[in-house]
Amino acid sequence: MSSNKPLWYRSRGYLHFDLPVSFKKARNLVTNPELVSKYAFFPLINYAVESKKISKDKITRKIDIAVKERPIAYSAHMDSHIYAFYASLLSRKYEAQLELAGLTDCILAFRGLGKSNIDFAFEAFEQIKAMGECSAVALDFSKFFDTLDHSILKQSWASLLGETILPLDHFKVFKSITQFSQVNKVELYKEFNISTNNPKNGRNRVCTAQEFRDVVRNKNLIKTNRNTFGIPQGSPISALLSNIYMFEFDTEMKRYMDIHGGKYYRYCDDMLFIVPAPLRDRVAGYAQERVKGLKVSINPAKTELRTFTC
């Protein structure tokens, strides 16, 4: 990709319901709020990725292999450019918001910090070494993206813009990512005899506009989110929106840590508190109480408490 193109524009090679879009065409749309406010988004194409987690029972010493499915959904070409452009607009405001709140070093995920999980883990252990005798409390949200409340997200989004309600173009993007529709990739490819191993094979899109109406729509392959919660994982804006959603909570957790001489870090749906040892058993309860207002929940089975001594 040419270096003079902005970061929000990225050519994507996958098949979707529309054709790949030139930079000029994408720019003409995404930079025009009126056009965005009237734009019709395509359904996402979704599938699940399986991951295996290997653990050993502490008593029986037996090896246990758990298979977990992680849902992935990807946007049509033009849709992706819109999401990426609005993510770039929101990201600048979010970064300024983090700096003002003193949260720049606390929020680790989806921010282009140029660091890996290994770097973050190293910094956490360095913090533990610096504190001496202390405790680490690790908490994990349950089904994070699937449970984000739409009304809270909308208010957080508007607040970031300094507005009481979302402008029409932002509201259009908000609706598309909350009242999103999806088509299962396996079912879709089966309808059009598309090979999963060689999907392109002379194709440059999944189907024509007419085939979309006659097959995808008429055969009810499109499933729409009717809930008042949940956003898809995998779109260019979803990760940032999850951070925006958590801003007030992050601010409160840092305030609480500052009072007690601890440190707070969050990586997407994982939280880590490094605190003076006497505070260890109170932190999880405090976070659990505060998170209720976000209508998401902490998974108690994944709560880890560790105390370090000199």
What pLDDT, in 10s, does the model give residues 86-95? 999 999 999 9
Query: Cα-flanking dihedrals φ and ψ of residue 211, to 5°?
Result: -65, -35
**Of 91, 77, 78, 63, nearest in space to 29 by CA:** 78
List the one residue out of 180, 272, 268 whose CA is nearest residue 227. Answer: 180
Both tokens of 292, joined, read 């209720």
Q: Which pLDDT does position 114 carry in this prediction?
A: 72
Predicted TM-score (pTM) above 0.85:
yes
**pLDDT tier at 1, thresholds 50, 70, 90:** very low
Q: Per-residue pLDDT for 3 more than 70?
A: no
- The tens digit of pLDDT for each residue in 153-182 reads 999 999 999 999 999 999 999 999 999 999
Tell me what the mean pLDDT of segment 199-206 comes to.
92
- The rounded percent of the chain whose pLDDT value lies above 70 is 97
Q: Which two tokens stand for residue 42?
A: 């395509």
Range with the poorest average pLDDT among 96-100, 115-119, 235-239, 291-295: 115-119
Q: Which amino acid is at 128?
A: I
Contact status, residue 107 vs residue 270, Cβ threshold 8 Å: no
Q: What is the pLDDT of residues 21-75, one digit of tens each?
A: 999 999 999 999 999 999 999 999 999 887 777 776 667 777 777 777 788 899 9
How far apart (Å, rounded) are the C-alpha atoms in residues 120 and 273?
13
**pLDDT over 50 (residue 136):** yes
